Each structure stands twice: as structure tokens, then as C-alpha cells.
Amino acid sequence: MPSIDDMWITPGPRPNGLQAADDGLWVIDAENSHIYKLDYETGEAMVDAPTDTYKSSGMTVGDGVVWVASTHNSRLYKLNEDGSTIEYLDPPGMGARDPRDKGPEYIRP
């Protein structure tokens, strides 16, 4: 199992989901909805792309596709590595929700 050798300040204000890939560390930001791919050597963003996701909380990558889970709107997004949406899926059993409910508001000190 690899060890943590370095720590970086991520480009976005609220990094939430991480996925280690062979070519870099992918990060989804829950506040600005950008995906980033960070260089392992420098921590610099090789990819900085806005997405259509909302308050995202998890991600994985593979075969040129980025999968992002958005907790607050209960959707699973299939994205290109440039952040563009291929499709999104509403999970089975999602049920009904009030369209005015945008999830909790985050208040920062």
C-alpha cells in the first residue's frame, strides 16, 4: 500500500472526492463543482474543468470517463475528462423530493 509522502493545497475551496489514477490524483470540489487532476510530483492541476454536478461527494475514473456522485441532488454523473456531461442517472428508489430543496446551506466562519 502506498504511503502519503506529501500534502498539497488543492485548487478548489472544498475538495471532497479523491481518486488515485496512474497519471494523477483526481479531485472533485463540492463547492465550485470543478474536477481537477493533480500531478503527483508537483501537486499542480493538469486538469481544471467545471462540471454540471452539484455538491459532489465522490468520484472514480476509468477508461477515459469520470464518474461523480452528487449527494444533494441524488444523481450519478458520467463525465468526459474535460468535465462535460455524457449523461446523468437518477438512482432507483430515489423517490419524490421537493424541487425547491437545494440541500443544506454551508456556512463558513
pLDDT tens per residue across span 19-77: 999 999 999 999 999 999 999 999 999 999 999 998 898 999 999 999 999 877 888 99
Task: Please report the pLDDT score of residue 106 as a whole number.
Answer: 53
In the chain, the domains with their CATH numbers are 15-89 (2.40.10.480)
Q: What is the pTM of this model?
A: 0.77
What sign does the dihedral 52-72-19-7 (CA atoms) show?
positive
